[in-house]
Amino acid sequence: MNCEVYEKYELGKTDEQTFEKHAKRCQTCQHLLQQDETLMSLAKGLNQPVRAPLLWAKIENRLRSEKQRQRRIGLTKLAQRSHPLLRLAAAVILAVTVGVGGYFMLKTEGQESGLLAGSALERVEKLEREYVQAIRELEKEATPHMAQLDMELMLLYRDRLETIDAQIERCQEALETNPANAHIRRYLLTALQDKKETLVEIVRQQSDVL
């Protein structure tokens, strides 16, 4: 299930007012928006991630060099790139701490978490499949865009995606033996949402350059 207007809105090609008018009469968009709300609701209760100081220092240096570059060449358009880069930095930290540190808490805390009932489990699994499909479509568009980014930014995105993929894989492995564990499902849904948003950000980055 997809909608061209929804895709354009996600990629910043349609303004919010136009999209809101469209969404009022588009059942597909209403479903996709509800899907996002459901995911965020399921993701509540995640443990507060710990800091990753070395990784943050690396990204902070990248931001500083980006600012120096902006001042040196004096292009106002480049200033717009600092905002998504800040979001990228924060999301990298979240992905690393949840994906690496948080996962190891799943084995100990997972047994104490509530289990999803049959109908709830079916809804969550359906939501996961829809996100996987959306991610596959976005990957087709984001991959060539990613190759055109400057090297440092491309490497940051690549590392972030690899970290998210590792988190997804570990959650899926844990769910093979405990599929109804709500705690692990929350981690998986959060990772899928993070990957989807990362791919959208990559496409937007290249669109800003053009």
Backbone dihedral angles phi then psi of residue 92, each to the nearest 5 degrees? -60, -45
Burial class (CB in 10 A: 0-12, 13-18, 19+), 206: middle
For the cut 80, the answer to whether the pLDDT of residue 23 exceeds it is yes
Supply the pLDDT for residue 207.
61
Supply the pLDDT for residue 30.
84
Supply the pLDDT for residue 183.
75
Supply the pLDDT for residue 41.
62
Contact 110, 174 (CB under 8 A): yes
Supply the pLDDT for residue 97.
46
Residue type, 21: K
For the cut 50, the answer to whether the pLDDT of residue 52 exceeds it is no
Contact 141, 203 (CB under 8 A): yes
Contact 206, 65 (CB under 8 A): no
Kindly report, residue by residue over 118-172, the tens digit of the pLDDT.
777 787 788 888 888 888 988 998 999 888 888 888 888 888 898 889 888 888 8
Supply the pLDDT for residue 57.
52
For the cut 80, the answer to whether the pLDDT of residue 69 exceeds it is no
Evaluate if pTM is beyond 0.85: no
Of residues 123 and 107, which shows the higher confidence score? 123
**Alpha-carbon distance 144 to 140, whole Å?**
8
Confidence of residue 27 (pLDDT cuts 50, 70, 90): confident
**Alpha-carbon distance 33 to 29, whole Å?**
6
